[in-house]
Amino acid sequence: MLDNIEDRTDGTGHPLRERKLTITGTREQTACRFCRRGIKYIDYKDIETLQKLLTNRGKIYSRKRSGNCAKCQRKAKKAIKRARHMALLPFTT
């Protein structure tokens, strides 16, 4: 087997490596936590749920980090800002 690898070089002496045939950027999409539960409205009074979307410093997690879809991320952002305005959540810690 080692002879076979040594025979396949790129001309500089480095062995060629086989590339995985995958399409970059495609991955199995999973529904966000709100879409899975069928939640249409994200309530600003539901502090336990909203705190899961915040860092310990009070910043809102990105879509990639939280796993939300774009529509639910916008709803969550609005709910968090409303909760902050009503003093249910802190602006910063």
Note whether residue 64 is domain-resident.
yes
Q: Encode pLDDT of 57-83 as tens digits.
A: 999 999 999 999 999 999 999 999 999
Asked, for residue 93, whether it belongs to a domain, the answer is no
- 8 part of a folded domain: yes
Let me know if residue 27 belongs to a domain.
yes
Measured CA distances, 13 to 3, 8, 9, 19 (Å): 13, 9, 6, 18
Structural domain count of the chain: 1
Decide if 24 is inside a domain. yes
Look up residue 86 and give its two tokens: 């009503």
91 found inside a domain: no
Q: Is residue 28 part of a domain?
A: yes
CB atoms within 10 A of CB 36: 9
Backbone angles phi, psi at 14, to 5 degrees: -85, 135
Report field, pTM of the whole predicted structure over 0.85? no
Q: Give the domain CATH number at 9.
A: 4.10.640.10
pLDDT, position 92:
87
